[in-house]
Structure 1
């Protein structure tokens, strides 16, 4: 099928559909202090409120992507938009932390129906490889800039409204996006083969979620080794069973041969590590700016504005960069620059940021935007058109799984470093509730209950958190630096022409 005449309008529709999904991944990071105080949520509850969204999507994306290849990407996208709209209203008016966690599950369900189909529709709409690279570059702009825009949008809303507004903002956006998508996205005949059974899908979902949950709980202090071990074995067992079913089936639900293509497999690894590191860094910096430096939510969002602008520029440049230098060089250089930028931020003083911090934020946004978008171009170009949904879902799984595990890993690292560095004044130690030293949010909540007497506790918390935040940023820099080396080695035989040949 040739590219439709209104293909750029189709691109606009799917980019607008994707924007609320990606913003919801990060918009809560800036709202952590407001949520903690408004709901009286513990540090563990806050982590689950943020983390349940990417965790559920990690389990749902692949089944939803493979289903969309069989029932139609347009139909699945439109349904997902309606689910996401309803879940946003539910989340906005959640009365407690437990209800908000449930609403985030519903949001993940809708988002998992949207994300794979955005990439699939782009893959099927743009037959020309150059146009497809440009389209995916523009999509990458929405993805990276949207994630960076989340804290800014959250800060602006929290400056004037209550915390639920960060979810309610999705309502007017969806009411514009849905009619646009309905009228401009063309109906296409379904050409994918293979079975899609609810039993196999549930096995895959349960296996992914159990495995991720076991890894998450294994990081946490006080978790039961027995429960973690049993959950991990169960999760891996379910995944192994699913893989065995796919390998024996004449027409499998998920074509595992896609993983044999280096662009797809390394693209997933890049998404996993980079998104995990960024999620942990952004969550840490948002708390540092508000709890320690004393910024308002809006000021904290504006602090990250250079990252937003640079991310927006990087997406369209990725297609040009890959065409000029090749995927391997672009990916490795961008990851190396990102690692150096994070290391520089780890040694920076956010009280007196100066021009150097702005340059580091710009370099970080530009490098990661180019690197991840280049990966997307290679993944979607390496996948056949009839398997575009599952290819998009595999990439999305890398993003969501990385974000979920990153928040957990870096959250636990931050909490551990913070607790070790915190020196509670001796005269206040007896009057503090249990768990007050677990996170800076809980310490600040305890200090607020003490009134004026809590001022020394606030100062101690700020000093401890400043020590802890450097550890998180330097750890993220190390991980991305190692990833740059891994990509350099893994893609040594990759040729950019291979992807173009596969696409056509």
Structure 2
């Protein structure tokens, strides 16, 4: 069975998607390093991480439409070339702002790759059970890439300069690009499909304005930030209105009349928001509070990475047996429980228990994401496979971007509220020190050893409290999502939906 060419195509798809997924989290472990090496402020650090998923969320819809027009093969090629070239630019970034720009172009390439790979699987695997297996491998690659991102980053930061976290993409992309040219079949595509670039720009502008107003407005009240946020919301409504009226929208909103698509999208967005609460801050806690090196921090999270990597093996038979809704609900409940216990565990003295919780989280959250992915693709007709893949990809990236924004702001709020540095710094230094634990470490060289020790103890205590509060909030989000899905999602059958 596995000698059939379609399984080699699956390997190509997984190989191309892997660096895209790794890049979503590889910088999480590098936040302390970037703070020191590029002198990046709190806002710049959030944008370095956030610009990648946010732009992908806006671009991925137009790329799904482009895939329907030119075919997934050409879209995969364009995406891989852009991704490879921009990885080199990101690695050579001299400033934080240049890195933000490079990450934005990386998002362009990644936004082509994600819907193209899903469309490729949808066209290649017509049998539902085989498709669920292929999707399991795709989700596992994405989950494993995102999960192993911190370990990859920690390993490279231990022995090389920070830009190496991007250079590892280049050989992978080169090999996969050659394989695409040689082995992927050409396919029919819709020549008359139009690309509405204006709608894509409206969506991207709406997302960025809302996120910017949240980040800036919650730190410093200013009417202009409220105005920008309102403009973003209005543009969002305008985008939806234009999609409804358009003969050839970026994506067909009628797809959301399918309960499978609608609830699959909801699961992906909300679950990813909650998961970011765990992923974003744990590496900072391990490095700042417990003084782990980047590599040691990555190794500490290894149980979570392994669980995500093997989760696809167990999730596929569960999905085929029980259906998307039951798998999603049960998985979300387990994820909620595991994140709650991670909020109260002492990472330094209770490693075995924290490892168990991370394994449970990795297995359960991957099952939830696979259920969501299967629901979205199975609820869309095959001729709209790229559009369905774009919707699925947008749900992940939108959830990631919102999660980074929400929890980044929450972390800053709780941290600032629980530190008291007034007697140690000047006004300018105080603003930096109170913004984040990374900012605090930036200004420590200006203090005596005794004062620095007091500051570090206060900073660590405040950060632990902030991290615990965020994880509890994440746990509640997942629990409420599970209840919502159980009540409102009425499946037509107990099996995964097929076309």
- Output the TM-score relative to the length of structure 1: 0.94
Distance across 1 between alignment mates of 2:465 and 2:492:
42
Q: Deviations over 1:376-408 (max 9, x none)?
A: 112111111111111111111111111111111
Cα separation, 1, equivalents of 2:314 and 2:494: 17
Distance 2:395 2:179 in 1: 29
Alignment partner, residue 477 of structure 2: 479
Q: Output the CA distance in 1 between the equivalents of 2:448 and 2:464.
A: 23
Aligned-residue offset at 1:114? 0.7
* Equivalent position of 2:385 in the other structure: 388
Return the match for 2:458 from 460, 472, 497: 460
Does the residue aligned with 1:422 lie in a helix, a strand or coil? coil
Q: How does 1:46-445 map to 2 (within 5 A)?
A: 46-191=45-190, 194-218=193-217, 220-224=218-222, 226-424=223-421, 426-427=423-424, 432-445=429-442
Where 2:497 maps in the other structure, the secondary structure is helix
Deviates more, 1:469-478 or 1:171-180: 171-180
How far is 1:217 from its partner? 4.2
Tell me the distance in 2 between the aligned counterparts of 1:430 and 1:331.
50
1:440 touches 1:461 (CA, 8 Å); kept in 2?
A: yes
Select which of 479, 484, 490 maps to 2:488: 490
Alpha-carbon distance between aligned partners in 2 of 1:209 and 1:254, rounded to the nearest angstrom: 20
Q: Find the residue that maps to 2:432 and give its secondary structure.
A: coil
- Quote the offset at 1:494 in angstroms: 4.2
Q: Give the secondary-structure state (helix, strand or coil) at the position aligned to 1:222.
A: coil
Following TM superposition, by how much is the alpha carbon of 1:266 offset from its aligned partner in structure 2, in angstroms?
1.3
Alpha-carbon distance, 1:351 to partner? 1.7
Quote the RMSD (CA, aligned, Å): 2.0
Could you tell me how far apart the structure 1 residues matched to 2:35 and 2:172 are? 27
Deviation sequence 1:102-152 (CA, Å, 0-9, x none)? 111111111111111111101111011110010001111101111100000
Gaps of at least 5 residues in structure 1 are: none
Cα deviation, residue 175, structure 1:
1.5
- Judged with a 3 Å threshold, the aligned counterparts in structure 2 of structure 1 residues 426 and 198 are, in CA distance, closer, same or farther, namely closer
Give yes or no for contact 1:141–1:315 (8 Å, CA) kept in 2.
yes
C-alpha separation in 2, matches of 1:120 and 1:450: 57
Structure 1 residue 232, shift from structure 2 partner:
3.2
Q: Secondary structure of 1:29's match?
A: coil
SS at match of 1:434: helix
How far is 1:211 from its partner?
Answer: 3.8
Q: 1:88 touches 1:107 (CA, 8 Å); kept in 2?
A: yes
Structure 2 length-normalised TM: 0.95
C-alpha deviation, 1:200, in angstroms? 3.3
Change (3 A) 1:242 1:464: closer
Q: Which has the larger displacement, 116-125 or 453-462? A: 453-462
Deviation at 1:193, TM superposition (A): 6.1
Post-superposition offset of 1:205: 3.2
How many angstroms does 1:212 deviate by? 4.1
When residues 237 and 304 of structure 1 are mapped into structure 2, their CA distance, relative to the original with a 3 A threshold, is same
Which whole-Å CA distance do the structure 1 matches of 2:454 and 2:427 have between them? 14
C-alpha contact 2:65 2:193 (8 A) present in aligned 1: no
- Judged with a 3 Å threshold, the aligned counterparts in structure 2 of structure 1 residues 52 and 253 are, in CA distance, closer, same or farther, namely closer
Is the 1:4–1:125 contact (alpha carbons within 8 Å) kept by the matching residues of 2?
no
What does residue 10 of structure 1 align with?
9
Give the Å deviation of 1:209. 3.4
Matched residue, 1:43: 42
Structure 2 CA distance for aligned equivalents of residues 195 and 272 of structure 1:
28
Number of aligned residues = 497
Native 8 Å contact 1:63 1:205 kept in 2: no
Contact 1:124 1:385 in 2 (8 A): yes
Indicate the residue corresponding to 2:22 in structure 1: 23
Unaligned runs of 5+ in 2: none
User: Are the structure 2 counterparts of residues 272 and 308 from structure 1 closer, same or farther at C-alpha, using a change threshold of 3 Å?
Assistant: same
In structure 2, the CA distance between the partners of 1:414 and 1:120, relative to structure 1 (3 Å rule), is same
**Partners in 1 of 2:89 and 2:447 — Cα distance?**
34
Q: Is the 8 A contact 2:320 2:496 kept in 1?
A: no
Separation in 2, partners of 1:461, 1:255: 49
Conserved 8 A contact 1:192-1:387 = no
Seen in structure 2, the aligned counterparts of structure 1 residues 493 and 12 have a Cα distance that, compared at 3 Å, is closer
